[in-house]
Amino acid sequence: MSPTQITYGLITPVLISCWFCAVPIAALHAEESGWHLVWSDEFDGERLDYSKWGVEVNAFGGGNEELQLYTDRPENVRVVDGNLIIEARADRPNISGTTRDYSSGKVRTKHRGDWTYGRFEVRAQMPAGQGIWPAIWMLPSEESYGAWAASGEIDIAEYKGQEPSRVHGTLHFGDQWPKNASHTKHYELPIGTFADRFHVFTLEWEPDQIRWYIDGDLYQSQDHWHSAGQPFPAPFNKPFHLLLNLAVGGRFVGAPDSNTTFPLQLRVDYVRVYQKS
């Protein structure tokens, strides 16, 4: 039994708070490991903090044959009862003359929160349903090594709504598409699904290694990647920013079917970023 497992508790893998203090146990664990909190959003206000997040408005999906239209409407992006709600709806929205069957939301920290290396914790509850694709991920804030994926992409947690007990962690790197490369691994919950309750998705990014955790359990480490014409650790040695979104359809998950019931929500309790001194 690892110390990390003890820190997070034996009875349930969800984040718990210490009864004798106001500091969550996950934060104590990070501090004990040399990570220091540098940025966070607990979503305790009545609306999204635009000093930390930008909301994407995009009438053409996300470039992966996705079916949604991203909006900044409160129906799709809002803060309620201490949670960020990103909601996908089958409401045929129209933006600038473009109509799609689905609407949803996408937020990012670009130029509001950009980091080179760190520990990134997101406590979230996923939706379930065929063709639903929530993601917690990172992109380079500048394409220093070229267009995707030469400058890299870090997927902290990607999820297929039709596989509700499985989450994928992936690195994209190499040359520009279609000469790009990737490393990926998935984590399977032993009991229940990621839609049942909140789970903590963590990524630790250091110069020579990137690690993925679910509820404190390490399930993947990567220490081999490359970028065309650039020495290791490129492309993962430049500032990246965080993205949270809920896509509908796309090559990764396929289209929704008659059993997919809208609206569906990605619920985020907090986002915390730590770095080492």
Mean pLDDT calculated for residue range 196-204: 98
Query: Which amino acid does the sequence have at 253?
Result: V
pLDDT tens per residue across span 61-70: 777 899 999 9
Active-site position among 66, 87, 121, 158: 158
Give the pairing type, strands 68-70 and 83-88: unpaired
d(CA 122, CA 136) in angstroms, rounded, equals 8
Q: Which residues pair with 139 in a beta bridge?
A: 241
pLDDT tens per residue across span 104-119: 999 999 999 999 999 9
Q: What angle do CA 68, 144, 58 make, to 5 degrees?
A: 15
Q: Which residues contact 141 (CB under 8 A, 6 or more apart)?
A: 110, 111, 114, 238, 239, 240, 241
d(CA 53, CA 70) in angstroms, rounded, equals 15
**Helix, strand or coil, per DSSP, at residue 7:** helix
* Boundaries of every domain in the chain: 38-275
**Helix, strand or coil, per DSSP, at residue 265:** strand
Burial (0-12, 13-18, 19+ Cβ within 10 Å), 98: exposed
Q: Residue 27 — pLDDT band, cuts 50, 70, 90?
A: low
Mean pLDDT calculated for residue range 45-69: 92
Q: Check residue 198 and give its pLDDT.
A: 98
Give the least confident one: 17-21, 33-37, 44-48, 264-268.
17-21
Active-site position among 56, 153, 163, 204: 153
> Between the CA of residue 212 and those of 39, 106, 119, 217, 262, what are the distances in Å?
19, 22, 10, 8, 30
153 is known as an active-site residue: yes
pTM for the model stands at: 0.89
**Widest CA span in the chain:** 57
* Fold annotation for 38-275: Jelly Rolls (2.60.120)
66 is known as an active-site residue: no
